[in-house]
């Protein structure tokens, strides 16, 4: 009986992990398609901060998602230095939300 329970837990964990990986891959592909990787990278600074640095900066900020969605949409400067981030009005709001959610998981 314990073997069946453990097998069920393991199967659920594997499916959840696979689903999370698929969502992360889809969000990363969306970020590339939207042009985000022209200025950002996952783990190193390009023109803008790395996505891991963004995730670390906002780790304990409960309002981070909404702030970042608004900032990506409107653009801005000053948070990471003088280099301005242009507005991304060409990217759909739901796509920006998906990308920001993914960045915050890094």
Model pLDDT for residues 68-102, shown as the tens digit of each residue: 999 999 999 999 998 999 999 999 999 999 999 99
For the segment 16-73, what is each residue's pLDDT rounded down to a tens digit?
A: 566 667 788 899 999 999 999 999 999 999 999 999 999 999 999 999 999 999 999 9
Could you tell me which CATH class the domain 2-103 is placed in? mainly alpha
Structure tokens at 67: 């702030």
**pLDDT over 80 at 2, yes or no:** no
Burial 92-104 (b: 16+ CB within 10 A, else e): eeebbbbbbebbb
Domain ranges of the chain: 2-103
Cα–Cα distance for residue pair 7/31, rounded to 1 Å:
36
This prediction has a pTM of: 0.81
Whole-number Cα distances in Å, 34 to 27, 61, 104: 10, 25, 18
pLDDT value at residue 17? 62
* Alpha-helix residue ranges (DSSP H) falling in 34-106: 51-57, 64-74, 93-103
């Amino acid at each position: 009986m314990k073997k069946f329970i453990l097998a069920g837990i393991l199967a659920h964990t594997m499916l959840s992990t696979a689903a999370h990986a698929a969502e992360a891959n889809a969000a990363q592909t969306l970020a590339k398609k939207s042009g985000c990787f022209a200025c950002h990278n996952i783990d190193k600074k390009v023109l803008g901060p790395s996505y891991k640095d963004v995730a670390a900066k906002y780790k304990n900020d409960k309002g981070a998602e909404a702030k970042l969605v608004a900032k990506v949409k409107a653009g801005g400067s000053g948070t990471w230095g003088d280099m301005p981030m242009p507005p991304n009005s060409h990217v759909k709001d739901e796509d920006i939300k998906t990308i920001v959610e993914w960045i915050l998981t890094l």
